[in-house]
Amino acid sequence: MSILLTGRFDAGERDEWLTLLRAALPAETLVLEADEGVDIAIVANPPRGALQGLPKLALIQSLWAGVDKLLADDSIPAQVPIARMVDPAMNEAMAETALWAVLSLQRDFFDYARQQAALQWRPHPQRRADELPVLVLGRGQMGATVARRLAVNGFPVTAWGSRDGALAPHLAAAAVVINLLPLTPATRGIVDAAALAAMRPGASLVNLARGAHVVDDALLAALDAGHLRHAVLDVFHQEPLPSEHRFWSHPRVTLLPHVAAATDARSAAAVAAANVKRLRAGAPLADLVDRARGY
């Protein structure tokens, strides 16, 4: 029996994972190439088909929180359990990015960055945090951590999850909408023209989940029309974002290269190792994905 470590990381990241996993699992054999003896795969966003030809595979432990790509890979046998990464350090990193985005919107810091580039000295009226209601889409661990951090900073926060009924009525009350939903067939394209129209004029969108939640043309139209004030985007339909995409140069868009919350290898290796130990002990696995639900 051995554990395959595979995915899209550079050699330095891979070596860090290997060192941490070996330390946490001294009795296990870790390999970097698939072979017949592999019964556990620890994966970081692996390319489609990377888990083929593993007849003994009994657990796929994702090092990423979002498992939409794994679930879309039909070469993975349907009976193999998939666990997603639930990493407290990653949740905190997400809360930091969300707080930065919301504070920047509250205090016009994105506008001041643009003004600096144009040599413009123009103070804006100062708003209080309690004047900026925030709606967090997603009631998972990340959504909850983000909501808590924003509430501590004085923002009125509400949350919406897919089980809370129609989204549109919730959108109208928020000055900032933060997307932290899992990407599933039910949430793909959820931020479409109708959702954007339901947002209050002058509201902003912060997408820290997946690019495919958003209909890009609808978002660009809402920004161009001045209906939305700003979009902060960390994730895109295609990554890296193609250089010709309008988001790159749109004055109302602030974008990040999918860095809102990386898995923190130091804490996540322990999370992955704990699930490996559960499997070896025949104990129930943690953070299993419900394939029918899609996350």
Catalytic residues: 210, 258
Q: Cα 252 to the chain's mean position, in Å?
A: 22
**Can you read off the two tokens belonging to residue 117?**
């580039």
Rounded to a whole number of angstroms, the minimum distance from the CB of residue 189 to ligand GLV is 18
| Nearby residues of 186 by Cβ (< 8 Å), 6 or more positions away | 162, 294
- Choose between 204 and 263: whose C-beta lies nearer to ligand GLV: 263
Binding segment for ligand GLV among 61-69, 75-83, 127-135, 220-228 (CB under 6 A)? 61-69
Element (H, E) at 20: helix 11-24
Site pattern 222..261 for ligand GLV (x: CB under 6 A):
----------------------------------------
Binding segment for ligand GLV among 6-14, 26-34, 60-68, 287-295 (CB under 6 A)? 60-68
- Choose between 181 and 223: whose C-beta lies nearer to ligand GLV: 181
**Can you read off the two tokens belonging to residue 236?**
């895109």
Q: How far apart are CA 137 and CA 24, in angstroms?
A: 35
If phi > 0 it is left, if psi is from -120 to 50 it is alpha, else beta; for residue 92 that is: alpha
Binding segment for ligand GLV among 46-54, 58-66, 126-134, 285-293 (CB under 6 A)? 58-66
- Choose between 84 and 149: whose C-beta lies nearer to ligand GLV: 84
Q: How many residues are listed for the chain in this entry?
A: 295
Site for ligand GLV contains 184 (CB under 6 A):
no
Helix, strand, coil fractions of the chain, as percent rounded to 5: 35, 15, 45
Rounded to a whole number of angstroms, the minimum distance from the CB of residue 66 to ligand GLV is 3
- Identify the residue among 17, 64, 155, 160 touching ligand GLV (CB under 6 A): 64
Question: How many residues interact with ligand GLV (rule CB under 6 A)?
Answer: 4
Q: How far apart are CA 266 and CA 269, in angstroms?
A: 6
Binding site for ligand GLV (CB under 6 A): 64-66, 263
